[in-house]
Amino acid sequence: MPDASLRPLPRSLDPLEDESLHGYLLRLAHRLGTSPAEIAARTGLVPATVDRGTRRIPMGLLRNLDDQRLGVLARTTNLTPEEVRRLLTAPLGSRYGPLNSSLLAKTRTLAGMLHNNSWILTRATRYCPTCLAGNGSEVEERHGGAWRRSWRLPPVFACLRHERLLLNGCPHCGQDVNTTRTGGLIARGHEAGLHPARCRATAPGTRTVCGARLAGAGVDRAPQSPATVAALLRLQYHFDNLLAPDGPTWAGSFGWRIPAAQYFIDLRALSGLIFMTWPQARDLTETTALAALVDREAARRHVAFAKSRAPIGKQRRASHHFSDPSADPVVAGAVFGIAARLLSAPDETAGHEAMAPIIARTRGVENVVGYQLRALNGLSRSASVVLLAVRQDKGAFARMGQRIQAQGLSRVDTA
């Protein structure tokens, strides 16, 4: 006789196209008047035999599910297997290089692509207060709007539906809205009754949940100027177009057409170099307000990088101090905007001319770390040519261009 916990649940929520597993569990639990951990047990995501008060929903479920878990979740929620897959981040890898196993499998295990990959947000997620307020339907009026899976991608820092920037952290307690010390997917997952659009972090200095409202008007702490918002929305439109399942198959990188997914790996390398050499690229920032925000973030990163050196010996300092994307959506967008502008150079010669001062400055910080960023695993061939060139040599660039073309890449048509 099957376990009663695995009997089908009423199909009370239809997952949206971009809903995350995290959000779906929150909303389904609220709809059924139980806790997310109980729903995870009833759908086969966690063992039902574990004590209810200590159940932890593993973070790894965010990325992918094995066939058994996927089948049980589909059966108990009356979803199709394809609907379940759309709750996971793994399918995003076809358009997003940092999750693409074919681009990174040489040095990344599938587990490492989630747990050691700062370019996929796991413990934290950004959010749009207007999306969480719901679309006016009966279901969303009661249980809130979807927590979108794309909010887990650092290059998603704005909501084009509502033409506003995303938020990170709770406006009341200042913590990540789903902070969990145990590495679980949902904080305080054993608690029932908390609305999905409420902060689940533990209030500082207490043992109680924060519970602050995250949806609707008045949630913003520091609204940005119209010029800043407009600049970031333009960039978000470019990124969303590349991330869309039916978007273009290629993007431009220093004058060459590369797979759209790989573009985000090139973006990652340049973002790290920008932070490492700041304020070298400051003049490329869209607005002075954005430049001032990056000033503060870059200063903090340089202090952290300097402290990371061991007091004895020559231990290599980690490049993550510069390569990790900013948790702040506005700062992240500012740096990505500079990186995207550099990648839009018409050819490798112009790209090297723009990048040469940045590359030269890395040697004044630490050459080894600079090289780590310039030789990042998964980089496109065109980015490797520009970032690893010692000097501008048109003859060498021409020969490299021929080799790139022989690998099946073509130049961006600038006519």
93-103 residue pLDDT tens? 999 999 988 88
Report the C-alpha gap between 80 and 230 in whole angstroms.
Answer: 39
> C-alpha 224: how far from its chain's center?
21
3 state DSSP class of 411: strand
- Which residues face 213 on adjacent strands? 198
Report the C-alpha gap between 79 and 258 in whole angstroms.
Answer: 36
Residues 6+ apart with CB under 8 A from 138: none
- Tens digit of each residue's pLDDT (9 = 90 or more) over 323-381: 999 999 999 999 999 999 999 999 888 999 999 999 999 988 888 889 999 999 899 98
3 state DSSP class of 176: coil
Q: What is the mean pLDDT of residues 105-133?
A: 75
Give pLDDT, residue 136.
85
Residues 6+ apart with CB under 8 A from 74: 80, 81, 83, 84
Give pLDDT, residue 11.
63
Q: Who wins on pLDDT, 218 or 105?
A: 218
Give pLDDT, residue 358.
95
Report the C-alpha gap between 42 and 179 in whole angstroms.
Answer: 24
Q: Find tokens 């090297």 and name the residue.
A: 352
Residues 6+ apart with CB under 8 A from 359: 273, 370, 374, 387
Residues 6+ apart with CB under 8 A from 406: none
Q: Residue 95: phi, psi to the nearest 5? A: -115, -10
Give pLDDT, residue 118.
85
pLDDT greater than 80 at residue 15? no
Give pLDDT, residue 333.
97
Full-model pTM:
0.89
pLDDT-based confidence at 5, cuts 50/70/90?
A: low
pLDDT greater than 90 at residue 116? no
Report the C-alpha gap between 126 and 134 in whole angstroms.
Answer: 16
- Tens digit of each residue's pLDDT (9 = 90 or more) over 379-390: 998 999 899 875
- Tens digit of each residue's pLDDT (9 = 90 or more) over 284-294: 999 999 999 99
**Cis peptide upstream of residue 329 (ω within 30 degrees of 0):** no
